[in-house]
Amino acid sequence: EFEQTQIKTSMIDIISNASLYDLGHKIKEDLWAEDLKSLLVLSEGSNVNGTELIDELIVQTHNNIPIFGGLAGDEYNFEKTIVGLNEDATAGKIVVIGFYGNHIHFGFGSEGGWSDFGPEREVTQSKQNVLYKIGDRHALDLYKDYLGKYAKELPGSSLYFPLSMREKDSNTSVVRTILSIDEENKTM
């Protein structure tokens, strides 16, 4: 509750409609206003590509407001996450909260504590957030080599050993966690 700041909410079920485009339009319809100052996104984490979700929200808000939030987790089980708004939390829900008016201001800071190890390698095959090959090797095989004894604890152990990557030599590195593995296709 705020004394001078209005909030509005929107909840979407990503399982019944997996289109992030439709989600973006619903958020715009439910929450967009000239005095919208920020969005707080609380998303289930099992069925959503967080980068694609935020990219769609940036498009719908014309990249004019800060967007904060995160994906729900289930510790290191990678099985089921739940989110709710004014009712019991369930799987597949994304809640977005809009903050309005001139009496609230947002800022942010970020710092990572991860350090790189191993040689820099090139991703040679991927599709969206699925990593198929690094160099001439299957991504999962190479990753398991680096994990050693921790490989048998995948996907949970991946939380302790994220990937550091960058699109171009001039870009800053970003850290990404492996959310799932596919033993048959040797992908992450």
pLDDT averaged over every residue in the chain:
89
Cα 89 to Cα 78: distance, rounded to the nearest angstrom:
17
DSSP annotation of 66 reads -
How many Cβ atoms are within 10 Å of 166's Cβ, its own excluded? 11
Residue 17 clears pLDDT 90, i.e. is over it: no
For 137, half-sphere exposure in the C-beta direction (CA atoms, 13 angstrom radius) is 11
Mean pLDDT in residue range 82-103 = 94
Work out the pLDDT band at 113, boundaries 50, 70, 90.
confident
63-67, 85-89, 154-158: lowest mean pLDDT where? 154-158
Find residue 94's DSSP bridge partners.
12, 43
Instruction: Provide the pLDDT for residue 136.
Output: 95
Instruction: Provide the pLDDT for residue 30.
Output: 95
Instruction: Provide the pLDDT for residue 107.
Output: 86
Instruction: Provide the pLDDT for residue 182.
Output: 93
8 CB-near residues (< 8 Å, 6+ apart): 30, 31, 97, 98, 100
Instruction: Provide the pLDDT for residue 31.
Output: 95
Residue 19 clears pLDDT 90, i.e. is over it: no
Note if the pTM is more than 0.75.
Answer: no
Instruction: Provide the pLDDT for residue 95.
Output: 95
pLDDT in tens, 142-151: 999 999 999 9
